[in-house]
Amino acid sequence: MTKKNKLYNNWDLVSNIINMEFKKILKKHNKSYTKEREIIFNVIKKLHHFDYSKLQDFLERKKINIWRASIFRTLNLFLEIWILENICNRSWVLIYEYIDKNNHHEHMKCKNCGKIIEFDDEIIHKDLEEIAKKYDFKLLAHSITLEGLCEECKK
Ligand SMILES: [Zn+2]
Ligand SMILES: [Zn+2]
């Protein structure tokens, strides 16, 4: 069986429908559609906070083969078109999260155990709007990650 066939055969494990929303997003950014990109898109929506190895494990369990370089290229593309967020700014291991417009939140990351805590605060959003306004900056998106020690680790 060729690699391509294998990918297609396992396709319905990831999604049963062709994702029109995804096609629209790509089109809007002048990026081309590929099955691989769509598979990765559907997978990242299922994973919560994830790094490359978590994504790779998921694909492996579903018997989907996508080259490492191809996965990274796709993740970078998703970052570029704002459907994916990188939520750790200073670590070797990049942690990603799908940007769900209906579930916006910020993060706190424990420097010691790696735990990620989600939070959301109206005041921050108002402040960011104000700051952007002050600099005549059109705010399109933001991503905030606080680094520190969690309740357990600070003891
Ligand atoms: Zn901790
Ligand atoms: Zn999150």
Ligand closest to 149 (CA) is 1
HSE on the CB side for 48, CA within 13 Å? 8
Distance from the alpha carbon of residue 146 to the mean position of ligand 1, in angstroms: 13
pLDDT band at 19 (very low <50, low <70, confident <90, very high): low
Over 60: is that where the pLDDT of 74 sits? yes
Q: How far is the CA of 96 from the centre of ligand 1 (A)?
A: 19
pLDDT in tens, 123-155: 998 999 999 999 999 988 888 899 999 999 999
Compute CA distances 26 → 1, 13, 22, 68, whole Å. 30, 22, 6, 21
- Quote the tokens at residue 66: 């996508």
Name the pTM for this structure: 0.79
Residue 151 C-alpha to ligand 1 middle, in angstroms? 7
The CATH 3.30.1490.190 domain(s) of the chain lie at 104-155
C-alpha 91 – ligand 1 centre gap (Å): 15
63 CA to middle of ligand 1, Å?
34
Ligand lying closest to the C-alpha of residue 104: 2
- Kindly report, as residue ranges, where domains of CATH 1.10.10.10 are found in the chain: 1-100
- Is it the case that residue 88 has pLDDT exceeding 90? no
pLDDT band per the 50, 70, 90 thresholds, residue 89: low
The confidence score (pLDDT) of residue 153 equals 96
106 within 8 A of 119, measured Cβ to Cβ: yes
pLDDT band at 122 (very low <50, low <70, confident <90, very high): confident
Measured between alpha carbons, how far is residue 4 from residues 31, 36, 66, 67 in Å?
Answer: 21, 10, 10, 12
| CATH of the domain spanning 1-100, picked from 3.40.1350.10, 3.60.20.10, 1.10.10.10, 3.40.50.720 | 1.10.10.10
* Residue 2 alpha carbon to ligand 2 centre in Å: 37
Residues 92-120 have pLDDT tens digits of 788 999 988 778 889 999 989 989 999 98
Instruction: Look up residue 149 and give its two tokens.
Output: 């020690």
The superfamily (CATH) of domain 104-155 is Ferric-uptake regulator, C-terminal dimerisarion domain (3.30.1490.190)
Query: Using one digit for the tens of pLDDT, what is the confidence trace for 31-69?
Result: 999 989 999 999 999 898 999 999 999 999 988 999 999
> Which residues make up the environment of ion ligand 1, defined by Cβ < 5 Å?
110, 112-113, 115, 150, 153
Distance from Cα 119 to the centre of ligand 2, integer Å:
8
